[in-house]
Amino acid sequence: MKQSISLIAGLVAHASRDHHFAARVIGRAWQVFRQKGVRGLVRVLRTRGEAVLRRSVSYEKWVMLHDTLENSDMAALKVQLEQLDHRPLISVLMPVYNTPEKYLAEAIESVLSQIYDRWELCICDDASTEPHVRQVLGKYSEDSRVKVAYCRENGHISRASNAALELATGEWVAMLDHDDVLRPHALAEVALEICRDPDAVLIYSDEDKIDAQGKRFDPYFKPDFSRELFRSQNYLNHLTVHRTDNIRAVGGWRPGFEGSQDYDLNLRIFERIDPKRIRHVPKVLYHWRAIKGSTASEGSEKSYAYDAGLRALKEHVERMGLPAIVEQASDTPFYRLRFSLPEPEPLVSLIIPTRDKVELLRGCVESIRSKTTYQNYEIIVVDNGSVEMETLSYLDILSEEKNTRVLYYKNKFNYSAINNFAASQAAGSVIGLVNNDIEVISPDWLTEMVSWAVQPDVGCVGAKLYYNNDTLQHGGVITGIGGVAGHSHKHFSRSHPGYFYRLKVIQNLSAVTAACLVVRKDVFEGVGGFNEKDLTIAFNDVDLCLKIREAGYLNVWTPYAELYHLESVSRGAEDDPDKIRRFQAEIAYMKRRWPLIPDPYYSVNLTLDREDFSLGV
């Protein structure tokens, strides 16, 4: 009994910090109470409390549960491979220079031990000075599948990679660093993906690191292809497999980009392919060796790699004709695209629904006016039945002020309908949806968001929002978390970099919150705006973003638009039977309408129980 009370207390504490979670729990609790009484309710709350309070599983345990290859797994893969209509030849390229003997042998052995046997290993020794290198390569080249070229002088990794490419006869090329390790099923999974999607032109996998003793750690469970994340960091990295023709078509690896030669290659190939033909295998297929002096061990060991990547991205932006400059992403070893605004700057209509709570509305409006550097905007306040005299007086004042309008929506509260009503009367070509409990932090928040929203293939743009205690309220929306959707990295500290720096870099996401959302008016209207019939209060912003993504646009989240969000202080909790029924109906609608799991921008290997990017169990 004592344990049950503790677990339920923990659940209540979590609910007090997350009103969306609280609403889900209350709705479920009400149903259980009506059906099973007090005892049934206690059992459900105890079970839910265990799930919420359960500590994140360690990677070692996760590997044991989900990523340990048994003989039966190997046998099943071999059966699948035997049934393939086409078994592509994969050329594994490996530039070598003075690799420690042990690691060089392990890298080569990892190819020799592949379950999939349609491969060739193309090695180029870049004029190594250590005598064991030639001895090891000579030994393994006795296998006809292992081809070796020797450079007369050291030309560095780009030239060595090109020399290895000259040996390749396969349809596909996979890159292997000379001290790293492929998983035994790596090429098998690649071959299966090629056959699942014959139109694929680039395939990448998840990865982890191994130390000098071979212990696995620091897994990177990646999203599917995100153009903006890719332009922020080379997250494709290991294992990346290209169609050979594409590498040759762009001229291979360019000398002068050493350290980021693969990033430069990927950017140039990306310019000539359809992103829909980039495929992600969400499995750890590659072990990145983390030893002293390696990028995996310490990124600062190779600052030249960062500089080469920055230059590669700048040239990519120039080739693509993007109206943007490339900078270092603050407090990271990664990059930021800063788009310029068109001339003249578009008019932005900032829509702020409100009801009483004048102190919130005043704080919101005044922070926009006093801190926003973007000038061409109008404020549209939509009042939904305020009755307090101080609020009504303030609305009268606002209605007389420049570039400010007050609209009155006199029907029952319906967030979707209120915003659709205001959007229909907005004069701007760009709409900004702003909650009345938002306060500006970064003066160029609107400049940043509009600069992305005006890009032709971009839909919704979301901001980085904090609670008033400087913990994160919104780092983007991940579908499937908690059943429908949850906020990325909620409650993380303001300075935290997030999962592989995802709180510090621009990226594509499935959805962003409408507490602060910018979108072109024609895009908003093109998908019919908010769904005011089925989603009157909850999840309407998620639904909007998914409709816009379905229409072919990319949704973008940027950490460079920072604001406070006091989160729904003005509306109250979902704590009566009618609200609970409405909320449950909205959940049901979202599950019927959208394939919420998996979210393409969130790994299937990560948890759906929490918003912290911890491992799934």
Secondary structure, 3-state, 357-384: CHHHHHHHHHHHHHHCCCCCEEEEEEEC
User: What is the Cα 370 distance to its own chain's centre?
Assistant: 33
Q: How far is CA 329 from CA 85, 325, 505, in A?
A: 46, 12, 7
CATH 3.90.550.10 fits 348-593, yes or no: yes
Rounded distance between C-alpha atoms, residue 283 and residue 604, angstroms: 9
DSSP code at position 347: P
Residue 123 CB-density burial (10 A; 0-12 exposed, 13-18 middle, 19+ buried): buried
DSSP string, 159-186: HHHHHHHHH--SSEEEE--TT-EE-TTH
Mean of the pLDDT values across residues 34-53? Answer: 59
First CA to last CA distance, the chain: 26
Contact 457, 554 (CB under 8 A): yes
pLDDT category at 10 given cuts 50, 70, 90 is very low
Q: How far is CA 566 from CA 17, 359, 474, 571, in A?
A: 12, 12, 11, 11
The whole-number pLDDT of residue 46 equals: 52
pLDDT band for 16, please (50, 70, 90 cuts).
Answer: very low
Q: How confident is the model at residue 54 (pLDDT cuts 50, 70, 90)?
A: very low
Q: What is the mean pLDDT of residues 37-64?
A: 67
CA-angle at 586, arms to 491 and 511, nearest 5°:
45
Helix (H, G, I), strand (E, B) or coil at 15: helix
Residue among 255, 250, 253, 257 nearest 272 (CA): 250
Neighbours of 73 (CB within 10 A): 13
User: What is the structure's pLDDT at 349?
Assistant: 98
Look at the domain 71-301 and name its fold.
Spore Coat Polysaccharide Biosynthesis Protein SpsA; Chain A (3.90.550)
Region of poorest pLDDT, from 34-43, 44-53, 180-189, 518-527: 44-53
Confidence of residue 568 (pLDDT cuts 50, 70, 90): low
Identify the three-state secondary structure at position 460.
strand
Per-residue pLDDT tens digits for 138-191: 999 999 999 999 999 999 999 999 999 999 999 999 999 999 999 999 999 999
Contact assessment for residue 94 and residue 178, using Cβ atoms and an 8 Å cutoff: yes
Mean pLDDT of 7-24: 47
Report the percentage of the chain scoring pLDDT > 70: 88
- Count of Cβ atoms closer than 10 Å to residue 82 Cβ: 8
Q: What is the SS3 assignment for 426? A: coil
Query: What are the backbone dihedrals phi and psi of residue 398, each rounded to the nearest 5 degrees, phi first?
Result: -60, -40
Question: pLDDT confidence of 588, banded at 50, 70, 90?
Answer: very high
Q: pLDDT by residue (tens digit) across 467-496?
A: 999 999 999 999 999 999 999 999 999 999
Is the model's pLDDT at 195 over the cut of 60? yes
Could you report the per-residue pLDDT of 379-403, keeping only the tens digit for each?
999 999 999 999 999 999 999 999 9
* Mean pLDDT value across residues 230-245: 96
Predicted local distance difference test score (pLDDT) of residue 40: 67
The pLDDT tens digits of the residues spanning 310-366 come to 999 999 999 999 999 999 999 999 999 999 999 999 999 999 999 999 999 999 999
Do 190 and 279 touch, CB atoms closer than 8 A?
no
Beta-strand pair 324-328/335-339: antiparallel
**pLDDT class of 291 with cuts at 50, 70, 90:** confident
Look up tokens 């209120």; give the residue: 418
Which residue matches tokens 């339920």?
8
Residue 464: the pLDDT is 98
606-to-476, 506, 599, 616 alpha-carbon distances in Å: 16, 20, 11, 4
Question: Whose structure tokens read 């909205």?
Answer: 586
What pLDDT band is residue 24 in, cutting at 50, 70 and 90? low
**What average pLDDT does the chain have?**
91
Torsion of CA 356, 359, 361, 367, to 10 degrees: 180
| Residue 296: pLDDT band with limits 50, 70, 90 | low
Instruction: Reply yes or no: is the peptide bond before residue 344 cis, omega within 30 of 0.
Output: yes
Measured CA to CA, the distance from residue 556 to residue 583 in angstroms comes to 27
Least reliable range by pLDDT among 30-34, 103-107, 384-388: 30-34
- Measured between alpha carbons, how far is 443 from 440 in angstroms, rounded to an integer? 7
- Determine the pLDDT at residue 44: 61
* Mean pLDDT value across residues 269-287: 97
- Cis ω for the linkage preceding 239 (within 30 of 0): yes
Look at residue 14 in the predicted model and tell me its pLDDT: 46
* pLDDT of residue 575 exceeding 70: no
Task: Tell me the C-alpha distance between 413 and 536, whole Å.
Answer: 8
Residue corresponding to tokens 């019919």: 528
Lowest mean pLDDT among 204-213, 353-362, 563-572: 563-572
pLDDT of residue 570: 43
Q: How far apart are CA 255 and CA 394, in angstroms?
A: 64
Q: Is the pLDDT of residue 30 over 70?
A: no
The pLDDT confidence band at residue 52, using thresholds 50, 70 and 90, is very low
Helices 186-196 & 71-82 angle (0-180, nearest 10)? 40
Angle at 274 between CA 90 and CA 319, to 5 degrees: 105
CA distance 287 to 427: 54
Mean pLDDT, range 17-38, rounded to an integer:
60
Average pLDDT over residues 50-54: 44
DSSP assigned state of 279? E
Beta-bridge partner residues of 242: 173, 202
Token pair of 325 as six digits: 């400059």
Residue 91 reports pLDDT greater than 80: yes
Here the tokens at position 601 are 């921008």
Q: Which helix (H) or strand (E) covers residue 559, if one does?
A: strand 554-565
How far apart, in whole angstroms, are the C-alpha atoms of residue 380 and residue 450? 17
pLDDT digits (tens, 9 = 90+) for 69-87: 999 999 999 999 999 999 9
Check residue 17 and give its pLDDT. Answer: 40
Lowest mean pLDDT, pick from 8-12, 435-439, 559-563: 8-12
- Dump pLDDT digits (tens) for 509-549: 999 999 999 999 999 999 999 999 999 999 999 999 999 99
Residue 505 has pLDDT above 70, yes or no: yes
What pLDDT does residue 609 have?
94
Q: Is 212 helix (H, G, I), strand (E, B) or coil?
A: coil
In 256-347, beta strands by DSSP E: 278-289, 324-328, 335-339
Percent of the chain beyond pLDDT 90? 85
pLDDT above 60 for 12: no
Residues 341, 60: Cα–Cα separation, whole Å = 48
Cα separation of 342 and 616, whole Å? 44
Alpha-carbon distances, residue 444 vs 338, 511, 561 (angstroms): 12, 22, 7
Alpha-carbon distance of 244 to 333, in angstroms, equals: 30
CB 476 within 8 A of CB 509: yes
Judged against a pLDDT cut of 70, whether residue 297 lies above it is answered with: no
pLDDT of residue 27: 60
pLDDT tens for each residue of 399-458 = 999 999 999 999 999 999 999 999 999 999 999 999 999 999 999 999 999 999 999 999
Closest CA to 258 of 314, 321, 311, 187: 311
